[in-house]
Chains A and B, each alone.
Chain A
Amino acid sequence: MRRLLAIEVRHSAMLPMLPVLAGLLLLSPIARHLTPVALWTSRSNDVQSTVQAIGPFVAGTAAWMAYRERRRAVSDLLVCTPYPPLARRLATWAAVAVWAALCYLVNVGVVFAITAGQATWGRPVLWPVLSGLTSVVACTMLGFVAGKALPGRLTAPLVAIGTLVAMAAMMEWALGGEWLGRLSPIYPSIGESPFYRVDPSLSQAQVLCYLGVAAAAVGLLALAGRRDTRAARLRGGALAAAGLVLAAAGTGLALRSPVGDFGHFDRSARPASAPVPVAYTPVCAGSPLPICVHPAFRRELAALEAALSPVTAPLAGTPAMPSGVAQSRHDGSLLPFEFGDYQLRGDTIVPYQALTILRTRFALALVTAPGTGPAKAGAAQRAVAAFLLRQAGVTPEPGLLPPSTVDTSAAQRLAALDASGRHAWFAAHATALRAGTLTLADLP
């Protein structure tokens, strides 16, 4: 079998397709996603999602290879050899699967090598990688079975398109809240937050499911082999049944997995489930405003400091000046950021819009009590927040801080004060301002 496989590997239709596939991967969203700041969790999900490019391609190629015997009119020659037909077909399929898996793993290697140079915390998560790998293998098997069952020149492109549509449809189901959609190979199967332990249950369920589907497809291939012996067909039937059981088990596990929409814990569906926090030591930088983040975001500290420090400049030396800023799980003395614990990434703060949102939320957090959302900020608080942003050269994000002539005039009054007058006002009114007891009339 090994020698036969070696010949098949050398002549698999996957070989000339590899440059095309490499091009597809380079053009895929993941290639554009490789920003300087990286989380191992999100990169692990990213490599899994490359199945979207690889899966349809390898399924179509497998269907093409399955049709090879008939296309080349070699059937009579092959039939009169003693080699078991199923083993012969599996050798042809395995050659496609070997190249497909190799292509996927090389892509994983490249992405992880780049990530290793960027990530500041954590390590690769292998379950999503394994999920992607098994789904690629399952795609080749399903494509091969389709090519055998419906031999024809159009089968390969139809299989490729069908695989793409099936993946996209499952993704749509997932986005629509259908749990079955979470079995899509391109659905992120782990949570990306570095604050919580990775729950691989959905990845594991996907792996089981894909292995089951692949095994069932092999079984079907054996079952349908008219020239195979009765014993071989029986074994095929047993394998198909076992594969279906495995796939059903995977589906059941996916249903029970607490990993919900894009890795968030689905507490509403499974109240007993809760993410498990991980212990970490925050990394801090900046003066007079120390900013502390999870070590996974270490590389963003400088950008954060540059973005937030100017906003606090008028507050320096007053009770309104926070002792620091902490990302998410804060320790009481620090000002918490309430805008998500894992969206704070390089590619979300760099674009203008996201940076403005970040600064506007921060300005509102400076003048309100902890836990007060932007919508609950009072008029005086909004006016002071608008002042803090404008003096830092930032136009407030209109969705969070809508333009208001009243607020603007109050902000202008604050701006008109000299630095010592403003310092004195903040020193005297900071506590009341944050408590929300000041009105616009109380502003200078």
Chain B
Amino acid sequence: MNIEVQGLTRGFGRATAVHDVELSVDRGVFGLLGPNGAGKTTLLRVLATVIPPSSGSVRLLGRDPAAHRERREIRRRLGYLPQQLGYYPNFTVFEFVEYFALLKEIPPARASRAAARAVERVHLGDRARAKLRTLSGGMLRRVGIAQAIVNDPGLLLLDEPTAGLDPEQRMEFRALLREIGESATVVVSTHLVEDVGIACDRVALMYDGRLVFHGSPGELTDRGHGHTVGDAPLERGYAAVLAQARA
């Protein structure tokens, strides 16, 4: 298992953002669904080793992120796209991705090649020399994805990756996710149930800091039988699980 989480709780002061989460995820694309404030971003930040858990244990790529040496190993094989992508506006697309390639300790001799490949994979090859400040929101999102995949990660964590992408780009992106998911664990946090249905092998649903569903997209769809809220079968399953959790 590339992600093993047991009893994970993360609080900020008196508020608990993630409460007693148990999760095991192996290779493939894993969708993390849930309404705003459900704790998805906090869970992803813990998995990205940005913040430590308040309690519980986490193992990523078979290593313990609490130990410095192992955390460093994990980070070498980690890709992360935060919900709010910060960037340096004067960097070019290529420089930004190369910068992160170097920070991910890809040897300098290979960093340029890796950056060029990542930029091509998100279809920004023709804008590689463009300054980030000149890009549209969707293009910036793709730059964020490029920096996340530049090190061919074993664990890729994407927080709202398709926000700002047009339908064609979303289709291309889902194809990219499936390709990466063949050799790595990809966790995609999203509001877009449609993306999960098409791209993910497994899906979890969070509500109020807790994991209220964990299964395949088909199983989530099954939970929606007889439920009337939602346009698509998967949406009805999503709504049904949420309604049950709220109840």
Contact = CB atoms under 8 A, between A and B. Distances in A.
A229 interface: yes
Contacts of A74: 86-88
Contacts of B84: 73
A302 B50 CA distance: 75
Interface string B86-99: 11111100010011
Contact of A81 (B75, B82, B89): B75
Contacts of A7: 91, 95, 98-99, 102
Interface in A10-25: 10-11
A180 interface: no
Contacts of B68: 229
B87 to A, nearest CB: 7
B50 A82 contact: no
Interface in A209-262: 229
Dominant SS among interface residues on chain A: helix
A3 B102 contact: yes
Contacts of B95: 7, 10-11
B147 to A, nearest CB: 7
A348 B50 CA distance: 65
Nearest to A11: B90
Contact of A82 (B75, B90, B147): B75
Nearest to A8: B99
B163 interface: no
B58 to A, nearest CB: 13
A2 B108 CA distance: 9
B72 interface: yes
A88 B50 contact: no
A80 B99 contact: no
A419 interface: no
Contacts of A80: 48-50, 75, 78, 80
A81 B80 CA distance: 9
Interface string A54-80: 000000000000001000111111111
A83 B86 contact: no
Contacts, number: 68
A4 interface: yes
Contacts of B80: 76-77, 80
Interface in A99-135: none
Contacts of A72: 86-89
Contacts of B88: 11, 68, 72, 74
B232 interface: no
Contact of B50 (A2, A3, A76, A229): A76
A75 B50 CA distance: 9
Interface in B49-73: 49-50, 68, 72-73
Contacts of B50: 76, 79-80
Given A11-B88, A73-B84, A229-B68, A78 B108 contact: no
B103 interface: yes
Contact of B147 (A10, A76, A77): A77
B22 to A, nearest CB: 23
B105 A82 contact: yes
A80 B49 CA distance: 6
B104 interface: yes
Contact of A4 (B76, B85, B99): B99
Contacts of B211: none
B31 to A, nearest CB: 21
A75 B86 contact: yes
Interface in B95-152: 95, 98-100, 102-105, 108, 111, 147
Interface of B: 45, 48-50, 68, 72-73, 75-76, 78, 80, 82, 84-91, 95, 98-100, 102-105, 108, 111, 147
14 contacts: A3-B102, A3-B108, A3-B111, A4-B99, A72-B87, A75-B86, A76-B82, A77-B86, A77-B100, A79-B49, A80-B49, A80-B50, A80-B78, A81-B103
Given A3-B108, A68-B88, 11 more contacts: A4-B103, A7-B99, A73-B84, A76-B48, A77-B85, A80-B50, A81-B75, A81-B103, A82-B103, A82-B104, A83-B104
Closest 3 CB pairs of A and B: A73-B86, A74-B86, A81-B103
